[in-house]
Amino acid sequence: MEGPDGSTGEAPDPTLGTSGDPSGPDPSGPDPSGPGTSTGTTEGGESGSSTGDGITFIEPTGGCGDLPDGVLGHCSLPECTPEEQECFEGEACKAWANDGGAVWNATRCSPVPDDAGLVGEPCAAEGSAVTGVDTCDVGLMCWNVDPETLEGTCAEYCDAEDGDPGCTDPSETCSVWNESVLPLCLPACDPLASTCGEGFGCYPGSEANFVCVRDGEQVHQDDVFHPECSSGTFWANAERVDGCVDDEPCCAAYCDLSAAAPCGAGVECLPFFKAPDPAFEDVGYCQAAQ
Q: Where are the domains of the chain?
A: 56-157, 178-290
Cα-to-chain-centroid distance, residue 227: 12
- Size of the chain in residues: 290
Confidence at residue 112, expressed as pLDDT on a 0 to 100 scale: 96
Burial 140-160 (b: 16+ CB within 10 A, else e): bbbbbbeeeebebbbbbbbbb
pLDDT digits (tens, 9 = 90+) for 215-253: 878 787 766 777 778 888 888 776 667 777 776 768 888
pTM over 0.85: no
Centre a 10 Å sphere on the Cβ of residue 227 and count the other Cβ atoms it contains.
Answer: 21
Q: Which residues of the chain fall short of a pLDDT of 70?
A: 1-78, 160, 162-164, 206-207, 222-223, 238-240, 247, 249, 276, 288-290
pLDDT given for residue 226 in this prediction: 73
How far from 203 is each of 11, 33, 99, 240, 252, CA to CA, in Å? 10, 45, 26, 18, 11
As a whole number of angstroms, the longest Cα–Cα distance in the chain is: 75
